[in-house]
Amino acid sequence: MNIRNIAIIAHVDHGKTTLVDKILHATKVFRDNQDTGELIMDSNDLERERGITIFSKNAAVVYKDIKINVIDTPGHSDFGGEVERVLKMADGVVLLVDAFEGPMPQTRFVLQKALALGLKPIVVINKVDKPNCRPDEVHDAVFELFFNLDATEEQLDFPTFYGSGKNGWFNDSLTQIDNINPLLDGIVKFVPEPKVNEGALQMQITSLDYSSFLGRIAVGKVARGVIKENQQIALMQADGAIKKMKIKELYVFEGMGKKKVSQVIAGDICAVVGLEEFNIGDTIADVENPEALPVISVDEPTMSMLFGINNSPFFGKEGKFVTSRHLRDRLMKETEKNLALRVEDTDSADSFLVFGRGILHLGVLIETMRREGFELTVGQPQVLVKQINGAKHEPYEILVVDVPSEYSGKVIDLVTQRKGEMLIMETKGEMQHLEFEIPSRGLIGLRSTMLTGTAGEAVMAHRFSEYKPWKGPIPGRNNGVLLSKTTERTTGYSIDKLQDRGRFFVDPGEDVYAGQIIAEHIKPGDLVVNATEAKKLTNHRASGSDDASKAAPKILMTLEECMEYIQADECIEVTPKNVRLRKTILNEEDRKRVSKAMASEMA
């Protein structure tokens, strides 16, 4: 069997997708004169804009008459659910590590999953052309990481390759060459052929594809037996139900696309068309002798947000999908392919609790829905609290910060204010490497304040560690907000007069409504202001006082920054054209009544 199945895993930005590009070029998937651009596998618009991989993808190349199925995986811990399930299709992993940064939190997370599945690792130390890189130290750190993760003797004996994905070379030593053939030879030599058991057909569905012509497509690795076109099969579901179905078409991966085939043998990865109502984790089995494979388990979500319909005065002006039925159907559809996501109904028919892995995980979902034409409101992210032995526990994360030495004091100060405890402090070249244990709550809103405090120099990464006892209150945002008094269009005249009260999120000439957050107050406490007043025109003119109004440009915040910014009584209105911050209760009198009632309850 001339097949190798490999997954490429690494921390975010260590060069996974660039390596896949080089493998595709080295194996002549494209014509020599074909312009393919960079990061070929990141085909989704959001992935291209953000420069990160969000969805895992398959490609297949042929090298020396051996077919190599390559799986590109995301590097962000928020998309860990995506990595966990696609590793089931692989027999070996290529672990990429940056020659300067060394093993990072996500390196540890994905490696732990790969070792637990018994996959054969190949270590690639990438970016050895960077200044200050330290490949030998990094190799020792990787070995130590393997050892700490209880790797077997066989896994500890991993082959190592060095090189630069950007410059297109990888070698088993630090000698620079002009191709990546040594790495491809290493994959063929060290990654075992797929393990195939004797017996009837078994194939687990580990990911989903979709085509507007063919509908939903099931993707997975054939574990044993042979799967054929027009074959009758049994679909075995997680709840124990067994459905009889017929396979219409079969495809295997070839280059960046798929090739139609009549049958697929055990060990290869294929796409199956014609199944209905299947979910990730279901087993395709022999109709006469059905046997299920163990269900895929994915780590639990750690954060929740309230998604509701848009109930602002501007409701329905920009979106196509605005009702709670549209919202519910879309969220339920997302849970089919996004295993780390959960959706629950609430007491209100207009809102749903959505559970995810982190701010970025939920932010990508909201951004995708916005581009599809949905209007919705989302509340403040909340961490999931558990009762363990009668005590309140919350999720903790390991936070890693690399920062120039002069800013390390500022970073330590910011993290300890949010109940973080320092575990490690060491010097890496000109940078200080700091590791903390911090409640997940403390991370919400930390990134923006840390970048401000370190002049944009801090590089931070974090991963979920465990549930530990509740740490008590954590200080949130210090400043209050300025709220619009009226529903009208803002004027430069009013904003100019209010500049000393706060920093604005809106420009002159924008439509705002009562209860919308239009600026950050310079003091604690909220203030209702009128930013829509026009200048009264009279016959009198005075030199000096009639200069044109000078409004500073508005502060632009990304969706994730908005999610980190809002407080418990605020929410974000998301429409295809705008992202607005607002109070959950728009009417000022109603807000006062609710806050008085809450204050009397507390008393």
User: Which residues define the annotated binding site?
Assistant: 13-18, 126-129
User: How many residues make up the chain in this entry?
Assistant: 603
How does strand 459-469 pair with strand 431-439? unpaired
Residue 211 CB-half CA count within 13 A: 12
Residue 307 is given by DSSP the state: E
Tokens for 414, please give them. Answer: 């910011």
Let me know the angle formed at the C-alpha of 59 by 154 and 301, rounded to the nearest 5 degrees.
70
How does strand 120-126 pair with strand 342-345? unpaired
CA-wise closest residue to 70 among 126, 37, 130, 23 = 23
Residue ranges for the binding site for GTP? 13-18, 126-129
DSSP symbols for 246-277: E--EEEEEEBTEEEEESEEETT-EEEEES--S
d(CA 235, CA 85): 19
How does strand 66-72 pair with strand 57-63? antiparallel
d(CA 54, CA 255): 20
What is the SS3 assignment for 318? coil
CA-wise closest residue to 178 among 35, 22, 41 = 22
Q: With contact defined as beta carbons under 8 Å apart, do 356 and 306 qualify?
A: no
d(CA 310, CA 350): 9
d(CA 173, CA 165): 15
Tokens for 299, please give them. Answer: 């780590």
Tokens for 257, please give them. Answer: 């696309």
